[in-house]
């Protein structure tokens, strides 16, 4: 499952509902729920489970409820609002929706399109690339939630060519990796090399001197940055 | 071996050579455009695909790639 999401949405009720009932129903929806993707959707329409981590009402104005929802990736908020309406027995729909968090990204680090363009223009006019640089983060930040394995300089090029990581190439690693986990392979300079599937637990990687540690499914670093160290 | 999650275990003591590679925070603007991320506050209306295509069409091409399982 991919990153968690947080949304702010307006739930529009068909009828006036006592605040107490509304709060009770919203509370009931926290936890695991079954959802079938709507008719118009990009994924296969079969019932699936998604977890709602929290529903926090922010403001209630007559029939409109402004609330914050934290949930798993792949949760349909429109569907959630509709279901809440059924539970209340009055019918409800989603009026507005805004995503406020995706994985490690919150609203605070965002930039509006216009400001990005301005930053670019100022950057050129003032001949100072730092103005634009401020808004572009190294792509390594998306790997934050993953456990990491750091590899020796000598192993980097081989991995960039797509080979698997073996135990002698490992320099250091985070504790708590289990077999089958998705891990990030990093250089000692903290550059991302690849996203891989761990073939051993942290304990095994630490103790073993041979065997495959991780198998890549996405190589991020280009070849030719580090030297070839094999014959 | 005990400890909390994320504790770093040192398997061997290695140094990294300054002759190859670069720390992410030392990237130049052009390098960041290749290996960087912009977090855009998307307005209501245009789709996310439209927004990414506008940003990419800029003369300073911002490369975006799909990170599977990340």
Residues in chain A, pLDDT under 70: 1, 231
Closest partner CB to B70 (pick from A110, A117, A146): A146
| A1 touching chain B per CB within 8 A | no
The whole-number pLDDT of residue B55 equals: 82
> β-pairing, B40-41 with A192-198?
unpaired
Residue B64 in this model has a pLDDT that exceeds 60: no
Q: Kindly report, residue by residue over A172-201, the tens digit of the pLDDT.
A: 999 999 999 999 999 999 999 999 999 999
Which tokens in the block code for residue A74? 């792949």
- To the nearest whole Å, the CA of A157 is away from the closest chain B CA by 11
What pLDDT does residue B60 have? 53
Chain B residue with Cα closest to A129: B29
- Mutation target vs B (from A40, A95, A97, A136; most B CBs, 10 A cutoff): A136
Q: State the Cα torsion A172-A177-A179-A184 to the nearest 10°.
A: -60
CB contact under 8 A, B11 and A132: no
pLDDT, tens digit, 9 for 90 and up, residues B3-54: 345 789 998 888 888 888 999 999 998 888 889 988 888 888 888 888 888 8
Determine the pLDDT at residue B70.
32
Which of chain A's residues have a Cβ under 8 Å away from the Cβ of B5?
174-176
Contacts of A189 in chain B (CB under 8 A): 16, 21-24
Distance to chain A for B15, nearest Cα, Å? 8
- Tell whether A219 lies on the interface with B, counting CB pairs under 8 A: no
The answer, for A122 touching chain B at a CB cutoff of 8 Å, is: no
pLDDT score of B57: 74
- C-alpha torsion angle, residues B46, A102, A65, B45 (rounded to 10): 0
Burial class of residue B13, CB neighbours in 10 A (0-12, 13-18, 19+): exposed
Structure tokens at B31: 């390098």
pLDDT for the residue numbered B4: 44
Q: Is pTM beyond 0.90 here?
A: no
Helix and strand numbers (H, E) in chain A are 6, 14
Quick check: A171 and B16 in contact, CB under 8 A? no
Contact A123, A129 (CB under 8 A): yes
Asked whether the predicted pLDDT for residue B68 surpasses 50, the reply is: no
Q: How far apart are CA A200 and CA A165, in angstroms?
A: 11
| CA dihedral of A192, A216, A203, A103, whole degrees rounded to 10 | 60
pLDDT (0 to 100) of residue A52: 95
Partner-chain residue, chosen from A111, A133, A152, that has the shortest CB–CB distance to B14: A152
Tokens 């003032």, residue located:
A126
What is residue B58's predicted lDDT score, i.e. its pLDDT? 64
Instruction: Write down the pLDDT at residue A231.
Output: 65
Paired tokens of A161: 């060519």
Residues in B touching A135 (Cβ below 8 Å) = 38-39
8 Å CB contact of B70 and A143: yes
**B37: three-class secondary structure by DSSP:** strand
Name which of B21, B28, B62 to mutate to probe chain A: the one with the most chain A Cβ atoms within 10 A of its Cβ.
B21
What's the longest Cα–Cα distance across chain A? 76
Interface test mutation site (partner B, options A115, A137, A224, max chain B beta carbons within 10 A): A137
């Amino acid at each position: 499952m991919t990153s968690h999401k947080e949304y702010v949405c307006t739930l529009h009720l068909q009828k006036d509902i006592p605040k107490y009932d509304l709060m009770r129903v919203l509370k009931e929806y926290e936890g695991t729920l079954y959802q079938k993707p709507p008719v118009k959707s990009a994924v296969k329409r079969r019932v699936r489970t998604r977890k709602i981590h929290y529903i926090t009402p922010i403001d209630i104005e007559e029939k409109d409820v402004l609330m914050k929802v934290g949930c798993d990736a792949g949760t349909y908020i429109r569907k959630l609002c509709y279901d809440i309406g059924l539970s209340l027995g009055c019918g409800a729909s989603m009026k507005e929706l805004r995503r406020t968090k995706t994985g490690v990204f919150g609203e605070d680090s965002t930039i509006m399109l216009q400001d990005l363009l301005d930053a670019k223009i100022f950057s050129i006019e003032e001949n100072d690339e730092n103005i634009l640089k401020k808004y572009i983060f190294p792509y390594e930040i998306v790997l934050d939630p993953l456990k990491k394995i750091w590899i020796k300089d000598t192993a980097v090029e081989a991995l960039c060519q797509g080979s698997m990581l073996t135990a002698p190439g490992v320099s250091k690693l985070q504790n708590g990796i289990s077999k089958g986990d998705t891990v990030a392979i990093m250089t000692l300079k903290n550059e991302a090399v690849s996203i891989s599937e761990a073939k051993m637990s942290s304990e095994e990687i630490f103790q073993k001197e041979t065997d495959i540690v991780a198998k890549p499914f996405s190589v991020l670093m280009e070849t030719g940055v580090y030297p070839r160290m094999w014959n | 071996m005990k400890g909390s999650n994320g504790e770093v275990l040192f398997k061997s003591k290695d140094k990294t050579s300054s002759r190859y590679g670069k720390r992410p925070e030392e990237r130049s603007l052009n390098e960041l455009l290749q290996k960087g991320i912009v977090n855009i506050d998307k307005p209501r209306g245009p789709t996310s695909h439209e927004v990414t295509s506008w940003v990419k069409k800029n003369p300073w091409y911002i490369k975006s790639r799909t990170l599977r399982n990340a």
